[in-house]
Structure 1
Amino acid sequence: MKKICIALAMASFMTACNNEAKDPVEKADSTNEAKQDSMPKAVQTDEETTDFLVKAANGGMAEVNAGKMAESKATNAGVKRFASMMVNDHTGANSQVMALAAARGVTLPASVSEEKQKAAADLDKKTGKDFDKDYMDMQVKDHKETINLFEKGLDNSKDAEVKTFINNTLPKLKQHLDSAQAVQKMLK
């Protein structure tokens, strides 16, 4: 019996250690899947909505982090203004995503994905005009991806309140993309 208890304790410990090493977004996805499996169908949040909220939180946190970095590292005034707008606007959107997720019992990532962390670390190595250019290139790319995520969320989510959030946020994201492209063009 003692051997069985030790084996179970070791298995639990190994599982816990394995979960700690996971990418924050993957960890949130796993937690949400486990929650969904244990909830009655009537109270479950649809998978598309859960997936949207997790990805929106990841992207939003990355935008704020990169924006704060650019506020301090950028040399171009237009890049600094854009970065400040990203921090302000995405902080507000992140608060809304957190509220929507909390109301639905959706677990969000505690930090950005490993992919976003690596992109931020690579950007942080840049200085001067190289930093400004790479930050704006990243912003154009990321906003195109985010707009795509939000449009798919609008099409696929079955949650009316989440769809309202998406409808209200999409115009601002498109404005961000237009602004990012204008600043990017100015840097060339």
Structure 2
Amino acid sequence: MHSVCRIVLIAVTITALEFSAAAHGSAEPPDPVVSVQPSPQDSTYLIVSHQANLAEIISGTQAAREGTCALVRTLGVQLVADHTRLDAMGVAVAIPNLVPLPLRPNPDQAQQIWDTGLRIGRDFDMTWLRMQEDFHRQSLQAGARQLRFGTVEAVTALARNAEPTIDHHLTLVREALEHC
């Protein structure tokens, strides 16, 4: 898992740098350099969303490789792509504002990913989908807190821009739970 984390970190960093250099359109967060120190809420959101994105990238890779249900494999690929993009946007705001980002998911996320990886077949698929449902609900809750209590517009815009993608993932997860 350590080598996967390193690969993900390198990919996210490269994507963030590319995103910062060539950002266009509405997928771009507002000016990532904030003139004031991010509040504890803003910093917490950047850290929590980064760890959630890392968890989604790692577990999405796991699902694409280990899933037996086609919906799980397809959803895994989509999560890797979408959460890599979302994470690049967050990193592009966090780094210039000196918010230190962890190199891996939080311990609970890491344990759930590990436990899910020990399962096989339909048991893997269903456990992975329930984990995704939980991860995405938590991400939506963190975003709602940021929208309500955030003070830095660049960080709040990240939560606002991520919400439709995360909500769409949650819908896809729930549909897959019915079909897998």
Asked if residue 48 in structure 1 is aligned to residue 49 in structure 2, the reply is: no
1:154 and 2:147 correspond = yes
Counterpart CA distance in 2 for 1:148 and 1:56 is: 11
2:98 paired with 1:113: no
| Aligned partner of 1:61 among 33, 54, 57 | 54
Q: SS of the counterpart of 2:103?
A: coil
**Structure 2 stretches of 5 or more lacking a match?**
1-34
Query: Out of 135, 142, 152, which is 2:135 matched to?
Result: 142
Give 3-state SS (helix, strand or coil) of 1:104's partner. coil
CA shift for structure 1 position 103 = 2.0
Q: Which residue identity does 2:170 align to in structure 1? A: L
Q: 1:100 aligns with which of 81, 93, 104?
A: 93
Alignment of 1:167-178 (within 5 A): 167-178=160-171
- The correspondence for 2:122, drawn from 126, 129, 138, is 129
Name the structure with the higher helix share.
Answer: 1
Question: One-letter code of the match for 1:55?
Answer: V
The percent identity for this pair of structures is: 23
Q: Which runs of 5+ in 1 are unaligned?
A: 1-41
**More relative contact order, 1 or 2 (CA 8 Å, 6+ apart):** 2
State the SS of the aligned residue for 1:103.
coil
CA distance in 1, matches of 2:79, 2:36: 34
TM-score normalised by structure 2 residue count: 0.78
TM norm structure 1:
0.75
